[in-house]
Chain A
Amino acid sequence: MADEQKLFKVTIDNITVEVAPGTTILNAARLIGGDIVPPAMCYYSKLQGSGGKCRTCLVKVTKGSEADPRPMPKLVASCRTTVMDGMEVANITSPEVVDARKSIVEFLLINHPLDCPVCDQAGECHLQDLSYEHGVSATRYEFKRRTFDKVDLGDHIKLHMTRCILCYRCVFTADQLTDKREHGILGRGDHSEISTYIEQNLDNDFIGNVIDVCPVGALTDKTFRFKNRVWFLKPVDAHRDCENPKCCGKTVLWMRGDEVFRVTARKDQYGEVEAYICDTCRFEKKETSDWVIEGPRKINRHSVISQGHYVGMVKPQETIVKVMDGRAPKLLMDIHRVSEVNRPEIDLSKIEGPAHSDDFKINGVHPQ
């Protein structure tokens, strides 16, 4: 058949795969999967035009193609370079790439504050993972880091410009998902910053997706702000019939007990959302009764979020009731009566924004 598409043969780290012409090296590597997939901070497969900004996905092309076997002179961004037939690419097998990636991480961290203990993204932050895997443990930067004031983007989103790595993902999200984009990047070079001009509110049905899309903690959920750490929450898959026709209603609820602390879209192994969700699902449905819970979400066991989640664990049964003819064991202390944490009167997940010192008063009095 004449119109049958010719597949390109590409070898990445000595693994050969056949892909359609026009595929980028990054996507070809993702077809193979595993350790050889270059990390990506700015490329997002669901957003058109993303990629090419952060340079973390740099790879070395050791053989250009079958027709022109010369290697490419410089490392190339794999998210923007399309494959050629017979191309050979070295990612983790090339010390040059590993070294370059280490430098890129250092560059990304030059202006990034070290406020992971405060940041809500910690534990699911791509920059944290990236610097842990590829970076150095100490900084060589001796100058003042650029700082910005925190900005409220609308009622539900908090922008920490200091943490931003200028990946443009949120700009593409707002451009492609919502009717009208109100924020963008102002300034150039070192002065560039994400901003809404004259700090205009962002109110679009899908603007909440910029939180999920952000690889760092620059855009965070204000309804979840400082409420809890992600690794103390239990992610469960849930869905609801959303009135918004564009919203799939399939989400992850981050729960603690029966409280829904936050709602996010489901993310795949590359940290990209499977389908976008609307702001009603994300910010306003914080009751368990709003959702149909499907079951616990599978979390990679190398993630800190999986701490305390044991797979296939058989919980030991309480035997005292059986042995003592149905009498319950006598509790010497009920921790919920003594503990100041997790009081039933204070429902942190129901508070609109972050909790403040007033929120911990019971009947107007501070208990401690």
Chain B
Amino acid sequence: MQALTDRSKMVDRKPMTFVERLYLWNIIKGMRITFAHLFRKKVTVKFPEQKRAFSPVFRGLHILNRDEEGRERCTACGLCAVSCPAEAITMEGAERKPGEEHLYREEKYAAKYEINMLRCIFCGFCEEACPKDAIYLTETFAPANYKREGFIYGKDDLLIPDPKTGK
């Protein structure tokens, strides 16, 4: 039968020689490999202190954008939710009242906006679908959490701070 790989070896059933019976030689052989690895370049990084560079197309945690005057851009049009293959996005729209023009850019806005990060697959379709430049995927990971409840991101988690007041 033809061998499946070229590294196959016949089992050697010869009695061991004196050096082999000492076992020391084999241990030295093994330790040589171990010490050789000590001086090689490490493939891991010390994560919290050291970070790997993100790919330019990395898609991480979502943010809801504001315009240069600090008004929310989202109009609750639902295109992100309809394009979401994981059905992670839900929202409720509301009408802007007179006097709220400094808060919301358009006459309609998202009163509630929620992304279920347990469902999200970070495909970025929401970002692509958004006609108002309101949702973006950043170069940050969604942070870990002890409880599942912490992965339901509301508007207070997603909205970026107001560029004017910084809050």
Near A by CB (< 8 A), chain B positions 78-103 give 78-79, 81-82, 90-95, 97, 100
Q: A116-B77, A118-B106, A332-B148 are in contact. Are A341 and B93 (CB under 8 A)?
A: no
| Cβ contacts under 8 Å, B106 to chain A | 115, 117-118
How far is A117 from B73 in the complex, measured between Cα atoms in Å? 11
Segment with Cβ contacts to A, from B1-9, B48-56, B57-65, B108-116: B108-116
Question: A333 and B149: CB pair below 8 A?
Answer: yes
Question: A228 and B93: CB pair below 8 A?
Answer: yes
Near B by CB (< 8 A), chain A positions 314-368 give 332-333, 335, 338-342, 348, 353-357, 359-360, 368
Question: A368 and B155: CB pair below 8 A?
Answer: yes
Question: A118 and B107: CB pair below 8 A?
Answer: yes
Specify which of A229, A341, A348, A359 lies most central, judged by the most chain B CB atoms within 10 Å of its CB.
Answer: A341
Q: Report the interface size for chain A: residues with CB under 8 A from the other chain.
A: 31
Option from B90, B112, B114, B147 in Cβ contact (under 8 Å) with A360: B112
Taking the closest CB of chain A, its distance from the CB of B61, in whole angstroms, is 18
Question: B152 and A348: CB pair below 8 A?
Answer: no
Q: A117-B132, A355-B94, A360-B112 are in contact. Are A231 and B78 (CB under 8 A)?
A: yes
Interface size class of B (residues with CB under 8 A): 20 to 34
Taking the closest CB of chain B, its distance from the CB of A17, in whole angstroms, is 39
Taking the closest CB of chain A, its distance from the CB of B58, in whole angstroms, is 27
Answer yes or no: A239 CB below 8 A from chain B CBs: no
Question: 5 A-B contacts, Cβ less than 8 Å apart?
Answer: A117-B75, A117-B132, A118-B75, A118-B106, A360-B92
Report which B residues bind A (CB closer than 8 A). 75-79, 81-82, 90-95, 97, 100, 106-108, 111-112, 114, 116, 131-132, 147-149, 152, 154-156
Contacts A307-B82, A338-B152, A357-B111 known; list 11 others, CB within 8 Å: A116-B77, A117-B77, A117-B131, A118-B106, A226-B76, A226-B108, A340-B112, A340-B154, A354-B95, A360-B111, A368-B112
